[in-house]
Amino acid sequence: MEELKMYVKDGTSTLKRVLTCPPTFLKKAAPINEISKLHPEPLNSELLASEYQRVLDAYEEAGVKVEKLTPDASMTNSIFARDFGGCVKEGYILGRFKKELRFPERKAYEDKMKELGIPKIAEVEDGYFEGGDFAFLRENVIAVGMLDRTDEKGFETIKNALEPLGYEVHPVPADPRYLHLDMCFNLVDENLAVAYLDGLPDDFKALLKRLEIEVIEVPEDAIFHHGCNLESLGDHRVLSLKQNEEVNQKLREHGMDVIELDVVETLKAGGGPHCMTFPLARG
């Protein structure tokens, strides 16, 4: 009997393979989130390209295989690869973008996943779901943010697809200004997260407590400076931003190996290292 292939086991075990996309056609920060609205000026293409390369270099050094989607001119925001869906052990869920600007990415990423041989186990066809709202808490416990880009119909599609596979799926409503769940909450190690707790609902905070997940708290302002937008590499390692000095210090105090990325220009479009990364294999 053929052994079933496992894709993404959870959110914090060893990251082995990711999908990314270069910022080839990202020329301006489209005003589609609270951060990008603050940056109407043209973006520095050379700096964007060098920052993307820094992320690739960090993954290479960490032993993570990087796959790349080749964008076309219609895909200005495709550098934020996280958002097209979510990936679990059995395969991936294809999301549905809310903003028209991002519509062309959906088929491009779907075709790429087919090329990579990763099965689609569900698809949001009615309503909206973006991958920045998809977060593992435990191997079989998943939180789905419902902020600006994922709605009730999208959540129900995910829940109906994953519950028969043995997953608990929990909705996490929060202020739409925060955009996605990964801007205000991120699990960085098995029992450690970084979050703006005051902006999260009481039932979610109770769930974190029940699961014995400790939280490094940040103020609300940190959301808009990507203080929570971190990518767990597994083995007590995490990708963060060089500018996150206080968060990085607290992570180190909790025994984390923090890899600091000097990324600034990319952030103006509204996303950080977590947004730039779609996990393909973790376990």
Is 132 within a domain? yes
Percent of the chain with pLDDT over 90: 98
Is 236 within a domain? yes
The tens digit of pLDDT for each residue in 188-204 reads 999 999 999 999 999 99
Is 238 within a domain? yes
Domain count, the chain: 1
Cβ-proximal residues to 92 (8 Å cutoff; 6+ apart), any chain: 7, 85, 86, 113, 118, 119, 120, 121
The tens digit of pLDDT for each residue in 125-174 reads 999 999 999 999 999 999 999 999 999 999 999 999 999 999 999 999 99
> What is the DSSP code string of 98-163?
SSGGGHHHHHHHHHHHHHHTPPEEEE--SS-B-GGGEEEEETTEEEEEESSS--HHHHHHHHHHHG
Compute the distance between CA of residue 65 and CA of residue 19 in angstroms, rounded to an integer. Answer: 9
How far the first Cα of the chain sits from its last, in Å, is 22
> DSSP character for 41?
S
Taking residue 263's Cβ as centre, other Cβ atoms within 10 Å add up to: 24
Residue range 271-280: average pLDDT? 98
Q: Are strands 192-195 and 214-217 parallel, antiparallel or unpaired?
A: parallel
The tens digit of pLDDT for each residue in 79-93 reads 999 999 999 999 999
In DSSP terms, 165 is beta-bridged to none
Residue range 247-259: average pLDDT? 98
Compute the distance between CA of residue 251 and CA of residue 184 in angstroms, rounded to an integer. Answer: 16
Is 2 within a domain? no
The whole domain housing 138 covers 15-282
The tens digit of pLDDT for each residue in 191-238 reads 999 999 999 999 999 999 999 999 999 999 999 999 999 999 999 999
Q: 178 with 138: CB under 8 angstroms?
A: no
Write down the mean pLDDT value for the chain: 97
Take residue 49 and report the two structure tokens written for it: 């390209």
Compute the distance between CA of residue 193 and CA of residue 171 in angstroms, rounded to an integer. Answer: 17
Compute the distance between CA of residue 208 and CA of residue 144 in angstroms, rounded to an integer. Answer: 14
Is 8 within a domain? no
Is 65 within a domain? yes
Q: 236 with 189: CB under 8 angstroms?
A: yes
Is the pLDDT at 1 greater than 60, yes or no?
no
* Three-state SS letters, 145-194: EECCCCCHHHHHHHHHHHHHHCCEEEEEECCHHHCCHHHCEEEEECCEEE
Is the pLDDT at 2 greater than 70, yes or no?
no
Residue position matching structure tokens 């979610």: 204
Q: 113 with 8: CB under 8 angstroms?
A: no
Could you tell me the CATH number of the domain that includes residue 74? 3.75.10.10
Compute the distance between CA of residue 266 and CA of residue 99 in angstroms, rounded to an integer. Answer: 19
Taking residue 6's Cβ as centre, other Cβ atoms within 10 Å add up to: 12
Is 10 within a domain? no
Is the pLDDT at 176 greater than 80, yes or no?
yes
